[in-house]
Structure 1
Amino acid sequence: MKYKLSVLLGAVCYGVLSTIVTMAYGKGFMLGEIVGSQLTVGFVLAWSLVVLTKWKERRSKERSGLASAAAAAAPAAPKSEWRQRMILMAAGVPSVVTGLLYYESLKFIPNSLAILLLFQFTWMGVLIHTIGQRRRPSGIVLFTLFVLLGGTLLAAGILDQGLAKFNWIGVIFGLASAISYTLFMLLSGKAVPSMHPTYRSAWMITGGMLFVFVLFPPVFLFNGALLEGLLPFGLMLGLFGAFLPPVLYAIGVPHIGEGLTGILGAAELPVAVLLSAVVLHEHISALQWIGVSIVLLGVALPELFKRRGDSVPTISKTRHSRK
């Protein structure tokens, strides 16, 4: 149960991000400041955890009598180790790109719609997996895609609001974030899976932070923006977006499996929509809530069919610092 709870809490953390970003926009902060402060806080927290992990490992060795005087002066990392670190830093970039696209969409469309568009990674991943296998989608896959798309149409409010009220620039950014996140999930699991999750997350966050700093130089560190209200948003986003979810998923996923992870990870969607209604006072109609429920059902369908003995492709992987 504790491992299931760990994954569930990780999904809840992801669900609160869009609300925090929308509030930061409302205070006048820019995309580069928001993402930059988030990754800076995540960087500090991740490497603090690395230091703590190394200290515990050293203490464990000392208690076991395995520590030696020669171990005090650690040798320089071999080239192969630095190559692994560079791979992980590169693997952290797609996650940051997802966050940039997703946060940009929040400028144009409601928070509740943005999270629904991001959630299209569910059927996109299944589709890409099917194409990669070079075989026609099975009836189960087609039914799952139909449920997901139908639920999205309801949850997005297209049927009760019409298409005229949608800002298509925001919709494009939202769908682009789903594509980016799909690619991230498909590729990230192949990046040095043998490395300790703590070190792995730290190097990926480092790569993402450096990428953002190239696009948006971190002037917020020197111009007083942190003390003018940016710091609280950076702390919340860094904690709930860049630091806690990777740690919580690393704890829970190996023990409960990827299928159940996909189901529990879907908690991100109702949390985001609920906060949109309660905190941001966005109107969520009964029809939209029905759509959210259908989307959650669609996410759970692959695991349900799998338990019945059917084989359904899925891309539910361990998530890293997505935003």
Structure 2
Amino acid sequence: MVKGLIYSILSALGLGTLAIFFKLGLAMGLQPVELVQYRFSLGAVALFLWLGISCPGVLKVRFRVLLKAAVLGVALYPLQSWLFVMALKHIPASTTSLIYYFYPLMTTLIAVVFLKLRPGREVFAALGLIVLGSGLVFYNAFAQQLDPRGILYALGCMGCFSIYLTVIQIFTRNDEAKTIVPYVILFMALVFSCLSSPLKIFDLNIQGWFIAIGLGLIPTALAISLLYRAVDAIGSTNVAIFSTIEPVTTVLLAAFVLDEHIASIQIVGMVFILLGIILPNLQLLKRRSALSG
């Protein structure tokens, strides 16, 4: 449980940098699909190099595992990434994030219906705190006029990611997460390389290379690998809850890197999110203490 918690939080911290790299790239004039292509292509290269040196046996996979990776990497994750980009084209990033971070609730509902999960009161309380906190973190999202298309794209993105987490849990029951993840990212790289030429990277300046490499390493190779290990260790519902530290990371980095203002109500929202993460763990510690006592 502890390892799964650490994996999910570290993954969320890494994924929290995605919006920052993305905004920096857009400010340079790079196209959204181009940025996504750099992210997955360099992420795949980094993962295969690291595993090829440190643990080459992991790269030897059965056809069944490769087929699972194709389902995740060709269908689900690219669709979620495309929906996220399309949402950003029509509505503010804060609005997209607000809608997107309702995925812990959706993931729990999917697990209840399809995986026969029976969550306790503490899980529902944690989800309530997280939803409330996310709303406060992005408190000004609906103060602006919204394009219905953007809302639909964001809702689709949220739903797709919820299904994605659930499928990961099903697919990694009998296979190690570290075995399937490099091939998932490879398939995603191939999909987006068909949409944007990978050769464009050679036209980038130093700042562009920094953004491209940062996208490939931090929110991709590192964060996605940790996400799979977390789901394998503690399940998609707990990962969805613990991973909501991601918007806190994004808001803080936006303040320091992009010089964005953080309002006091957003700080209150981040506190609610952290409480939502801590609550299930306090209950778990109490149970373990009771069993050991």
Interval of TM-score (by shorter of Structure 1 and Structure 2):
0.7 to 0.9
1:213 aligns with 2:213: no
Larger Rg: 1
AA paired with 2:250?
A: A
State how far apart, in whole Å, the 1-side matches of 2:222 and 2:154 are.
24
* Post-superposition offset of 1:286: 1.1
The 8 Å contact of residues 107 and 240 in structure 2, kept in 1 or not, is answered as no
AA paired with 2:64?
A: R
- List per-residue Cα deviations over 1:24-56 (Å, max 9, x = no partner): 11111112111111111011112112321455x
The 8 Å contact of residues 13 and 245 in structure 1, kept in 2 or not, is answered as yes
Matched residues, number = 283
1:82 aligns with 2:63: yes
State how far apart, in whole Å, the 2-side matches of 1:148 and 1:289 are.
13
Query: What's the counterpart of residue 316 of structure 1?
Result: none
Give the match's secondary structure for 2:143: coil
- Change in 2 beyond 3 A, CA 1:184/1:213: same
* Post-superposition offset of 1:101: 2.5
Query: What's the counterpart of residue 287 of structure 1?
Result: 265
* Post-superposition offset of 1:19: 0.9
* Post-superposition offset of 1:187: 0.5
- List per-residue Cα deviations over 1:59-79 (Å, max 9, x = no partner): xxxxxxxxxxxxxxxxxx9xx
Structure 1, 293-302 or 223-232: larger mean CA deviation = 223-232
The 8 Å contact of residues 109 and 170 in structure 1, kept in 2 or not, is answered as yes
1:38 aligns with 2:39: yes
Query: What's the counterpart of residue 321 of structure 1?
Result: none
Query: What's the counterpart of residue 20 of structure 2?
Result: 19
1:127 aligns with 2:109: yes
Structure 1, 271-280 or 141-150: larger mean CA deviation = 141-150
AA paired with 1:89?
A: A
* Post-superposition offset of 1:307: 5.3
Flag the structure with higher helix content: 2
TM-score normalised per structure 2 = 0.78
State how far apart, in whole Å, the 1-side matches of 2:85 and 2:125 are.
31
Alignment of 1:51-66 (within 5 A): 51-54=52-55
Give the match's secondary structure for 1:237: helix
State how far apart, in whole Å, the 2-side matches of 1:250 and 1:132 are.
20
Give the match's secondary structure for 2:15: helix
Query: What's the counterpart of residue 158 of structure 2?
Result: 178
1:298 aligns with 2:258: no
- List per-residue Cα deviations over 1:132-184 (Å, max 9, x = no partner): 378998766655554343333322214xx753444554443333222111010
State how far apart, in whole Å, the 2-side matches of 1:200 and 1:190 are.
13
The 8 Å contact of residues 92 and 205 in structure 1, kept in 2 or not, is answered as yes
State how far apart, in whole Å, the 1-side matches of 2:178 and 2:84 are.
26
State how far apart, in whole Å, the 1-side matches of 2:171 and 2:119 are.
28
Alignment of 1:186-197 (within 5 A): 186-197=166-177
* Post-superposition offset of 1:276: 1.9
Query: What's the counterpart of residue 50 of structure 2?
Result: 49
User: Which runs of no fewer than 5 residues in structure 2 stay unpaired?
Assistant: 288-293
The 8 Å contact of residues 92 and 208 in structure 1, kept in 2 or not, is answered as yes
State how far apart, in whole Å, the 1-side matches of 2:284 and 2:114 are.
20
